[in-house]
Amino acid sequence: MRRRTLIFCAMGLLVPALLWPLLQTGASPAATLAQAAETAPLRSSYIVQSTSAVAAQRVVEQAGGKVTATLNIINAVGAELDSAQVTWLRNQSDDIRVYDDGTLEVSGEVKDTHYQTLVGADVLHKQGVTGEGVTIAVLDTGLWKAPSIEFGANGAPRILAQYDALPGGSFAADDCGDDDEDEDEDEYENDSDCGSVSNPAYMDIDDWNGHGTHITSIMVSSDKVKDGRYQGIAPDAGIVAVRAFEPDGSGTYLNVIKALDWIVSHRAQYQIRILNLSFGARAASHYWDDPVNQAVMAAWKRGIIVVTAAGNSGPGPMTVGVPANVPYVITVGAMTDNFTPSDRTDDRLARFSAAGPTVEGFVKPDVVAPGGHMLGKMPPYAWLPLAYPDFVQADGDYFSMSGTSQSAAVVSGVLALMLQAEPSLPPDDAKCRLMVSARFAIRDDGSAAYSVFQQGAGMVDAVGAVNETARGCANREMSALLDLWGLAHYAGPAGVDETGTYYLVDENGKRQTGDGLDWSNGALWPEGSLWQQGVLWNQGLPWSSGVHWNDTHLLNPDSLLNQGALWPEGSLWPEGLSRSASTLTWVDFE
């Protein structure tokens, strides 16, 4: 103890002695030290090279500089030097070389994705709305755990569970059946004691196709570009990854339904509020007869907001497939910024984007979102980058592709932002607000650039959707519960006349008139359009309701349903439950 005391005492005597000359000047010690710092020569970092690292160190010390690192590999040292010392060293001999300590950037630069700006998500990010606390289930080809996907913007792990529905995949003993078939349509029960996958956050189902990773990246990437914007739409949203598709992107009805069953059964355990379905199959029956559609309607009825890709079989009418033809869900078409994200005047609908109406007369898609040349993460060993190497970015783990799959991912991210702002928002009202706040595409003269059968309510607007307060304007007069029970099925207000023009009728069966409310197939395809909020929606959504199937002939004599079935195969399920679905076809870059 005495030794420590003596040291402290010595320091107590030493400090006043050091400060005494400073105090004699009349200035405070802090001011004097600050003045000395201001007058000291400014030092910078350099690399000094000589015949050896030892020789370089010796000459730096002779110059009065400070050695910061030994670089034997190049016979050099790192050093902090002022300008006079640098000049002195450079004048010594040819054996001494002094380099500025330059800056480098990693080759894996975080690339700008632009789509978060196109829908306004970047504005909400600055307000702290990042999707935190909201879980999105992604039913697709699997997931590659890139850091920007595995961790949220807040740094927390956010892959809550993974499930493999492929034959031979990883399953858990699942003790939670769904015994709530008699529940009310709007009642969300809590089954949080349901069984789960063993170590779900650490089980890796991987992604040998790349599609599932790409759309997940669009939804939630937490990487930041140079100006601080996040790449993804909802960078803090949680993820549940479910694999039901093979490495080539193909899948079967059985595996998809198995995956949907798991998601619905575990919705409370993982707080799943949004389900992204970026896949499709050709419609071969009425929407309510399709087994995948039945599972999708069950998810919607149980409080999960289902987002589907419209499909890549456009631009012709009636090209929307399964499960995008389910009237309740949010079906998303694609627009493109025409490779000019900062110029909105040349935006247009993507030519591959599937269009409505459905066979039952419902308007689809419901909205459109960016889907052209979309940049996202993808494992370099996956099927897509190997099949299409021209679309792999220079650093190898970014991939660009177009499709309504990517558009659906954007909307799933926007919904996560909406649910963070209002967690109790039910599916029908989320769809209502998304559509009411959308921006309709118009030409320079203010007329509609596309019909509602092509663009639905228009381009999604994240800021408008989060701030919207509308309720009760989507899926009116319809019940998913009665639909599933077979007690009621529904038809939409679309018809087609003898000239091939598609149109809408009101609740009295009268043909509606209004810009964008009818569509003659073959109309001119505008190359540029603006997205303007409020063009059609002053009176609410003019078509977001249904009528009972048995009353269809009374509503509209030109109804598509009154013109016979439109499925060329002639039978509903020629291949049984092994009928195929896929993650949608590859389309040209737009």
Tell me how crowded residue 364 is: count the other CB atoms within 10 A of its CB.
Answer: 29
The answer to whether residues 133 and 225 belong to one domain is: yes
Give phi and psi for 44, each to the nearest 5.
-135, 170
Position 8 in a domain:
no
Position 395 in a domain:
no
Asked if residue 188 has pLDDT above 70, the reply is no
Asked if residue 34 has pLDDT above 60, the reply is no
The answer to whether residues 357 and 416 belong to one domain is: yes
3-state helix vs strand vs coil in the chain, percent to 5 = 30, 20, 50
Position 508 in a domain:
yes
Asked if residue 399 has pLDDT above 70, the reply is yes
Position 229 in a domain:
yes
Q: What is the band of 38 on the pLDDT scale with cuts at 50, 70, 90?
A: low
Position 351 in a domain:
yes
pLDDT over 90 for what percent of the chain?
A: 41
Q: Look at strands 490-491 and 547-548 and give their pairing.
A: antiparallel
Position 116 in a domain:
no
The answer to whether residues 88 and 213 belong to one domain is: no
How would you classify residue 472: left for phi > 0, otherwise alpha for psi between -120 and 50, otherwise beta?
left
Amino acid at 184: D
Q: What is the band of 129 on the pLDDT scale with cuts at 50, 70, 90?
A: very high
Q: Which of 19-28, 105-114, 175-184 has the highest mean pLDDT?
A: 105-114
The answer to whether residues 347 and 458 belong to one domain is: yes
Asked if residue 181 has pLDDT above 50, the reply is no
pLDDT number for residue 518 = 63
**What CATH number does the domain containing 364 carry?**
3.40.50.200
Amino acid at 423: P
The answer to whether residues 424 and 545 belong to one domain is: yes
Position 263 in a domain:
yes
pLDDT number for residue 523 = 39
The answer to whether residues 98 and 129 belong to one domain is: no
Q: What is the band of 440 on the pLDDT scale with cuts at 50, 70, 90?
A: confident
Compute CA distances 329 → 275, 476, 507, whole Å.
Answer: 10, 13, 21
pLDDT number for residue 394 = 66
| Neighbour-count burial of 168, counting CB atoms closer than 10 A to its CB (0-12 exposed, 13-18 middle, 19+ buried) | exposed
Q: Which of 356, 301, 314, 350 is nearest to 331 (CA)?
A: 356
SS3 label, residue 495: strand
Amino acid at 541: L
State the DSSP code for 43: P
pLDDT number for residue 136 = 98
Asked if residue 264 has pLDDT above 50, the reply is yes
The answer to whether residues 490 and 533 belong to one domain is: yes
Q: Structurally, how many domains does the chain consist of?
A: 2
State the DSSP code for 353: -
CB proximity list for 435: less than 8 A, separation 6 or greater: 366, 367, 456, 457, 473, 474, 537, 541, 544
Contact (CB, 8 A) for 553 and 484 = no
The answer to whether residues 95 and 205 belong to one domain is: no
Q: What is the 3-state secondary structure (H, E, C) of 177-201?
A: CCCCCCCCCCCCCCCCCCCCCCCCC
pLDDT number for residue 79 = 92
The answer to whether residues 314 and 274 belong to one domain is: yes
- CA separation for the pair 526, 582 (Å, rounded): 30
Q: What is the pLDDT of residues 450-490, one digit of tens each?
A: 888 888 988 999 999 999 999 998 888 889 999 999 898 88
DSSP H or E segment with residue 532: strand 530-533
Across the chain, mean pLDDT equals 77
Q: What is the pLDDT of residues 198-208, one digit of tens each?
A: 334 445 789 99
- CA separation for the pair 372, 588 (Å, rounded): 9
pLDDT number for residue 267 = 96
pLDDT number for residue 566 = 38
**What CATH number does the domain containing 94 carry?**
3.30.70.80
Contact (CB, 8 A) for 29 and 22 = yes
- CA separation for the pair 116, 59 (Å, rounded): 54
- CA separation for the pair 182, 185 (Å, rounded): 9
The answer to whether residues 191 and 72 belong to one domain is: no
Amino acid at 127: Q
Between residues 68 and 201, which one has the greater pLDDT?
A: 68
Q: What are the helix (H) ranges across 178-290?
A: 211-220, 253-265
CA 519 to chain centre: 31
The answer to whether residues 141 and 226 belong to one domain is: yes
Q: Report the alpha-carbon angle 127-128-133, nearest 5.
A: 145
Which of 160-174, 220-234, 304-318, 543-557 bottoms out in mean pLDDT, i.e. has the lowest? 543-557
Q: What is the pLDDT of residues 137-152, one digit of tens each?
A: 999 999 999 999 999 9
- CA separation for the pair 440, 528 (Å, rounded): 13
Q: What is the pLDDT of residues 338-385, one digit of tens each?
A: 777 777 777 888 888 999 899 888 999 999 999 888 889 999 999 999
Between residues 555 and 164, which one has the greater pLDDT?
A: 164
Domain boundary among the residues 74, 103, 132 is at 103
Provide the residue range defining the domain that includes 320: 124-172+185-374+400-582
The answer to whether residues 214 and 317 belong to one domain is: yes
Position 386 in a domain:
no
